[in-house]
Amino acid sequence: MRFLRVYFAVFISLGALLSCSEFLTPQGVISAPYNGQTVRGIQTILVTPPDTMLVDSVYIYINFQFETLMTTSPYQYEWDTRLLTNGWCYISVEVNDQLGGLPVTDVIQVKVDNI
């Protein structure tokens, strides 16, 4: 019976720990374009960090190659899709906070179609 009480207490404590929002990675950092969207011409990439994050820097990557660094809000970038060949490509972001916490990342895939 003592074992069950200890096990139950650990289980409840672990559940409380895992339910704290600061331990969960926020999703949906790339606000525009959306995953699966067809893009052409000049496309605005909009990054919306979590409200609770004190942003230090935002890195944007196109096809996992560095594209730009932003340090002031609004975190948006005018991306010229005409510099790429038509087809699927990845947009990824890394948002770093001022407190040195783990970066928040997001990756989407869009289809470039410059007719």
- The tens place of each residue's pLDDT in the chain, 115 residues long, gives 555 454 444 444 444 444 444 444 444 599 999 999 999 999 999 999 988 889 999 999 999 999 999 999 999 999 999 999 999 999 999 999 999 888 999 999 999 999 8
Interatomic CA distance for residues 74 and 93, integer angstroms: 14
The pLDDT score that the predictor gives to residue 115 is: 84
Q: Where are the alpha helices (DSSP H) in the chain?
A: 2-18
Predicted local confidence at residue 52, as pLDDT = 85
pLDDT at 19: 44
Domain boundaries, the chain: 26-112
Structure confidence at residue 1 (pLDDT): 57
CATH code linked to domain 26-112? 2.60.40.10
Edge-first strand listing for the sheet containing 65-70: 38-39, 104-112, 87-97, 55-62, 65-70
